[in-house]
Amino acid sequence: MLKSNKSTPFRYFNRELSWLAFNRRVLEQAESIEYPLLERMKFLAFVSLNLDEFFEIRVAGILQQIKSGSHECGPDGLSPKEQLEQIQKKVSQLVADQSECWRSQIVPGLDKSGIKFCDYDALTRPEKEWVQNYFIKQVYPILTPLAIDPAHPFPTLVNKSLYLLASIDDPKTRAIERLMAIIPVPRILPRIVRVETPRRGNPEVYIALSDIIKRHINSLFPGYRVRSAVPFRITRNSDLYFDEEEVENLLNKIEEELHKREKGAAVRLEIAKGADSILLKQLLKAIELAPENVYPIDETLNMARLMSAYDLIDRPDLKFKPFTPFVHPDLESHQPLFEKIAKRDYLLHQPYDSFQPFIDFISQAAQDPAVFAIKQTLYRTSGDSPIVQALIDASRNGKQVTVLVELKARFDEANNIKWARQLEEEGVHVVYGLVGLKTHCKTCMVVRRENGRLRRYAHLGTGNYNPKTARLYTDLSLFTARRKITNEVADLFNSLTGFCISPNFKKLLVAPFNLEASIQRYIKTETRNALGGKPANIIIQANSIVDQTTIDNLYRASQAGVKIELIIRGICNLVPNVKGLSENIRVRSILGRYLEHSRIFYFENHQGQEPHLFTGSADWMPRNFYRRIECVFPVQDPEIRKRVLGIIKVYLSDTHNVRHLKPDGSYHSKKPRKGKLPFCAQSSLAEAAKLRQKSLYKKAKRSSEITKDENIKPDLN
């Protein structure tokens, strides 16, 4: 990943290869014997789902560059063609290792636990009879085989849909005709089928739908002989392309583009081994794809479909034990939340803290006669969202409700269009943000009349307003009624709904207005502190760090002596631990049961002031700085500051799920010091939540509880 130019290494890792290194770490979770088997299976599905989006967006962009004749190298020194070659090599190995993990680890383990994933040949006679009956009654009636010949032109193959490629011959002729037929597998059918034989005590048996169809494919072509049949799927370019400034109706335009997405340029063909080589060439020609973009897949299974199998299999003993999140006694549903928030700030740290207090916050606002207005952003939310319902209830109750729905939230566009229309029908004022910018900030404001005056209450966070992902992602959010904060939140919403070229934010860091400049200023302040012999530290937790200017300033800070700790879950273009460049920078990545999604920014700032401590919605990428509306907010309450600093300390102490980034781009784990047990940050935070739960009505101090153990006292200096 790290190339050399003469004797000087490139200063940046390749973004795409860094992302693939992240997905490799996801695969490591599936390979971990410490996780329950069905959770490991779920991680295998994540690997495939991640790859789908990677090809649909990132690889599609590289292929466009190559097609346009671009030879321009990026900051990592790789041309588009060189990037693609390395991507193909790494993806091929990743997929091979993923399949090996499934075959040699997960399947045998599930088998011992009474859950069998079988191909057709491994079924018993009664099971085969059941499968045959299932095919006849449930599958065959809705299959439509498509012959490919001069009278039947090549069909449009839908993005990521399942097909079978069949080679057909007429047995009455001596010649091998190799007639092509394509069998679309209807999306309505489950891709993994449970074989339901009547005998009790048998293990649960599951079979892939593609295998069922393949074993009965002759019934689709009576009088012909099927020489081969293999499942395949095509991945297409799924980015949406349109000029917002030329669009009169953004909602209608995105709906139009969503139909085109299914038919974008092919970027990947996944196909099982055993395909007729001549038909494969014809298929590639028809979809205009080069042979190097073909990736072999398991004979019967698309790993992404294991996600549905996870939900299908009712075996709690093979899944993570349910975790009950903590609810602060002040924020329980029967409490009047506005009275509590008026007195102090409250921090939620999902999934260790429950997301329910926010649902109660918005629900109480919808019903409270003193509430006059609600304003909220929606980037991604769940299908049966109680938040959307609360906003509808508020509108029905005569309140002024304004919702910023981000229609361009990638792969959630259709859902968001649905919510937008539903909200509009109920009288909610729905807007779509600013032209050319995605509204990615996570903000909500309630305006309430108290004692004859209006008072604002705000909720600001790092994660989406989605109750489902709040149980799976780690995120931070803040309830506050501080006037200096809520006044600026009001300005932020006014900027999104009206006209505002340069709003003046002093407390909030808001992209694209003052976020990027503020970050650079804070980094440079630490650099000056180090050069002046003062303590200087930077600690960042984020999903990704890509922005070149920011990386360069971190390099300068490192060279000045600033100690920099980066906890970056995903993409990291910064090269750490290079002498003379970044020797004071350490980069960690932590993956575990929960997806690390919080962003925390700490700057020592020793100039007679407290350290700067922020959290918010933005990663350190050009898109977050310049092409999105982001909101990063200060943590000011003393007790909450201690808690957030305690969270940072816990993550910096992890020796279990942590991987350290090396200068060559690889990640490695470090064994705990001799005599010390591995320390898991996520487990520790979960245990601290349980301790808080046991003492519901005692003032909880998570950071002090966690750091009592001498084994996990990190040195922030």
Query: Which residue matches tokens 């973004």?
Result: 15
pLDDT band at 318 (very low <50, low <70, confident <90, very high): very high
Give me the amino acid identity at 218. N
pLDDT band at 250 (very low <50, low <70, confident <90, very high): low
Say which of 328, 440, 459, 656 is annotated catalytic. Answer: 440
Stretch 634-642: mean pLDDT: 96
Stretch 303-331: mean pLDDT: 92
Nearby residues of 354 by Cβ (< 8 Å), 6 or more positions away: 325, 326, 327, 348
Handedness of CA 242, 245, 246, 251 (dihedral sign): positive
Give me the amino acid identity at 44. L
The CA distance from 509 to 661, in Å, is 29
- Report phi then psi at 161, rounded to 5: -85, 155
Give the N- to C-terminal CA distance of the chain in Å, as an integer: 31
The rounded percent of the chain whose pLDDT value lies above 70 is 89
pLDDT at 416: 72
The CA distance from 103 to 113, in Å, is 15
Question: 403 is written with which tokens?
Answer: 């919702």
- pLDDT over threshold 80, residue 79: yes
Helix (H) or strand (E) holding 623: helix 622-626
Q: What is the average pLDDT value for the chain, to the nearest integer?
A: 88
- pLDDT over threshold 70, residue 556: yes
**Residue 102: DSSP 8-state:** I
pLDDT band at 240 (very low <50, low <70, confident <90, very high): low
- The tens digit of pLDDT for each residue in 349-370 reads 999 999 999 999 999 999 999 9
Least confident of 85-89, 96-100, 182-186, 237-241: 237-241
Of the candidates 295, 246, 293, 237, which has an alpha carbon nearest to the alpha carbon of residue 266?
A: 237
- The tens digit of pLDDT for each residue in 374-418 reads 999 988 876 678 999 999 999 999 999 999 888 765 656 677 778
pLDDT at 239: 77
Answer yes or no: are the C-beta atoms of 566 and 555 closer than 8 Å: no
pLDDT at 411: 58
pLDDT at 715: 34
The rounded percent of the chain whose pLDDT value lies above 90 is 70
Query: Which residue matches tokens 């006694």?
Result: 329
Question: 563 is written with which tokens?
Answer: 């100690």
The CA distance from 708 to 173, in Å, is 82
pLDDT at 77: 87
Stretch 116-135: mean pLDDT: 93
What are the angstrom distances between the C-alpha of 482 and each of 46, 54, 183, 226, 243?
40, 41, 61, 72, 39
List of domains in the chain:
12-318 (3.30.1840.10), 329-497 (3.30.870.10), 509-712 (3.30.870.10)
For this structure, is 440 an active site residue? yes
What are the angstrom distances between the C-alpha of 430 and each of 108, 123, 418, 443, 490?
52, 54, 12, 15, 16
pLDDT at 542: 98
- pLDDT over threshold 90, residue 116: yes
- The tens digit of pLDDT for each residue in 588-621 reads 999 999 999 999 999 998 677 889 999 999 999 9
- pLDDT over threshold 90, residue 687: yes
Three-state DSSP string of 656-700: CCEEEECCCCCEECCCCCCCCCCCCHHHHHHHHHHHHHHCCCCCC
Stretch 150-166: mean pLDDT: 88
Of the candidates 14, 37, 29, 97, which has an alpha carbon nearest to the alpha carbon of residue 595?
A: 29
- The tens digit of pLDDT for each residue in 563-588 reads 999 999 999 999 999 999 999 999 99
pLDDT at 432: 80
- Report phi then psi at 23, rounded to 5: -65, -30
pLDDT at 563: 98
Segments of 224-326 assigned E as strands:
225-236, 266-272, 294-297
- pLDDT over threshold 60, residue 200: no
pLDDT band at 6 (very low <50, low <70, confident <90, very high): very low
Least confident of 29-38, 172-181, 658-667: 172-181
**Whether residue 512 has a cis bond before it, omega within 30° of 0:** yes
pLDDT band at 694 (very low <50, low <70, confident <90, very high): confident
pLDDT band at 260 (very low <50, low <70, confident <90, very high): low
**Rg, C-alpha atoms of the chain:** 28
Stretch 427-445: mean pLDDT: 87
- pLDDT over threshold 60, residue 319: yes
pLDDT at 95: 94
- pLDDT over threshold 60, residue 712: no
pLDDT at 711: 37
Answer yes or no: are the C-beta atoms of 265 and 63 closer than 8 Å: yes
